[in-house]
């Protein structure tokens, strides 16, 4: 099994810059030893999110990090609400 190669953010951005300078994707991919598909994917990622493309292993884009934080907060608040509902039901019962 062939080990998967990893490329630095700078390498990817330089590859995309070469394509943007007018050099054909096929030539850039061949010269850098990468597949056309990988280079096309890198170009799409830069086009979609110029400043935040290729954030790195284990790092999230700011929008993704905010979404994850909000989901955690929602889970916590939902659990607190459920506890308060149960407490309200318990204390609202008429003593016998």
Q: What's residue 7's pLDDT? A: 84
Place of tokens 């490329």: 7
pLDDT in tens, 42-79: 898 888 877 667 766 656 667 777 888 999 999 999 99
64 or 38, which is more confident: 38
Question: Residue 58's pLDDT is what?
Answer: 58
Distances, alpha carbon 67 to alpha carbons 10, 15, 73, 74, 89, in Å:
27, 30, 10, 10, 33
Q: What is the token pair recorded at 27?
A: 């030539």
Instruction: Assign a CATH topology to domain 1-57.
Output: Arc Repressor Mutant, subunit A (1.10.10)
- Listed by start position, the domains of the chain span 1-57, 60-96
- What is the model's pLDDT at position 40? 93
């Amino acid at each position: 099994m062939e080990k998967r190669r990893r490329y630095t953010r700078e390498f990817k951005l330089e590859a995309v810059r070469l394509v943007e300078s007018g050099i054909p994707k096929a030539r850039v991919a061949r010269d850098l030893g990468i597949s056309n598909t990988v280079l096309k994917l890198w170009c799409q990622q830069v086009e979609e999110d110029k400043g935040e493309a290729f954030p790195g292993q284990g790092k999230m884009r700011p929008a993704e990090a905010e979404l994850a934080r909000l989901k955690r907060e929602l889970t916590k608040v939902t659990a607190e609400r459920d506890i308060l509902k149960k407490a309200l039901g318990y204390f609202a019962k008429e003593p016998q």
